[in-house]
Amino acid sequence: LSVSTMKPLSLGVFFLLVPTLVPALDPLSASLLMGGAAVTWQLFSPHSWLKCRLLECCNVKDTLNFSVVKMDLERKVFGQHLAVQLVLRALNANIHSKRPKKPLVMSFHGWTGTGKTFLSSIIAENLYQPGAPRRRFVHHFNTVLHFPHASHVHLYKEQLQNWIRGNVSACPRSLFIFSEMDQMPHGLIDSITPFLGYHEEIDGVYYGKAIFIFLNNAGGDKITEIALDYWRRPKGREDIPYLCPQLIQKNLIDYFIPFLPLEYKHVKECVREELRAQGHPEDEGIITEIASSMIDYPSEEDIYSSKGCKTVASRVILSI
């Protein structure tokens, strides 16, 4: 028997013995013994509600509330109707499948500050049971920070594979976020690809419920070029269609999610939200001043913010 099966078995034997021990104890001691035994049983039970409350456990019930997620995305992510629609479609398909044939793999592309990391954080917040710590199930890798040396790529490959394998074994619904993918050392992505394809299991581990999100600035210029073309026609950004790009290769990436450049009205919403977050009143003068100073592309027309909303927080601090 494995250790994991021995613990519940030992506890079961203990519970069988408890009734024979209780009569020999005074009422208070008996109550404490029974209460302690119940708590111990809950803590060792793999899907215990008490264990999830006091410690950490994976959200095995897949309790994602799509109406809440939709409301969060539409209220907090500005100017990204395509990204919101596609992410909701992707999550819905994966979560509602009893046994997905492959992990959900999404690649977010667009200029910096357009909401890629922020949208990923909203997914993480909603993916697991309310109130449960998520640090064991959400794994965020920053390429520059975690894989800084190209000469160590072989070591990174081994460490990354072991990390993914071990964490999916512990929690099938693990979330892996990789930012700055355009700066990832050459060859490192090869260590991830085996986990992204169509496999029933790999060495006894099932990866179909895992979610991988790649954040990438690459392609941002092309996305902006398309958005600018629609703006000049003129057409609304909501008319921009979803075009399946060449980046989806080998059937590994399921969804290419374009993040459009942010216009003046979107930056204003970012400033407004940041003022609220910092506890300041919504001063329209400050909102207009900050948003206007961030619209800088293209230089002859000033339609978009080349940094999105990335520097809004610091600008609010300096303006107050």
For the chain, domain boundaries: 3-54, 66-260, 263-319
pLDDT of residue 235: 81
pLDDT of residue 134: 63
CA distance 147 to 168: 21
For 151, other C-beta atoms within 10 Å of its C-beta total 7
From residue 155, alpha-carbon distances to 139, 203, 269 in Å are: 18, 21, 43
CA of residue 38 relative to chain centroid, distance: 35
From residue 261, alpha-carbon distances to 78, 94, 203, 286, 305 in Å are: 10, 28, 43, 22, 7
CA distance 239 to 116: 21
Residues 217, 112 contacting (CB under 8 angstroms): yes
CA distance 4 to 65: 32
- As to burial, measured by CB atoms within 10 angstroms (0-12 exposed, 13-18 middle, 19+ buried), residue 224 is buried
Closest by CA to 18, choosing from 41, 37, 5, is 37
Task: Name the helix (H) or strand (E) containing 14.
Answer: helix 3-21
Q: What CATH superfamily is the domain 66-260?
A: P-loop containing nucleotide triphosphate hydrolases (3.40.50.300)
Residues 89, 256 contacting (CB under 8 angstroms): no
Tokens 């601090």 identify what position? 317
pLDDT of residue 160: 96
* pLDDT tens across the length of the chain (320 residues): 444 444 444 445 444 544 554 555 555 555 555 555 554 544 445 445 455 544 456 754 455 788 889 999 999 999 999 999 999 999 999 988 889 999 999 999 999 999 999 999 999 988 876 655 566 899 999 999 999 999 999 999 999 999 999 999 999 999 999 999 989 999 999 999 999 999 889 999 999 999 999 999 988 999 999 999 989 888 878 888 776 554 455 568 999 999 999 999 999 999 999 999 999 999 999 999 999 999 999 999 999 999 999 999 999 999 98
CA distance 30 to 22: 5
Residue 70 in tokens: 């939709």
Tokens 């309310």 identify what position? 130
pLDDT of residue 40: 53
Residue 35 in tokens: 């209460």
Check: pTM over 0.85? Answer yes or no. no
CA distance 253 to 104: 8
pLDDT of residue 60: 47
- As to burial, measured by CB atoms within 10 angstroms (0-12 exposed, 13-18 middle, 19+ buried), residue 279 is exposed
pLDDT of residue 50: 52
Taking each continuous run of H as one helix and of E as one strand, the counts in the chain are 12, 7
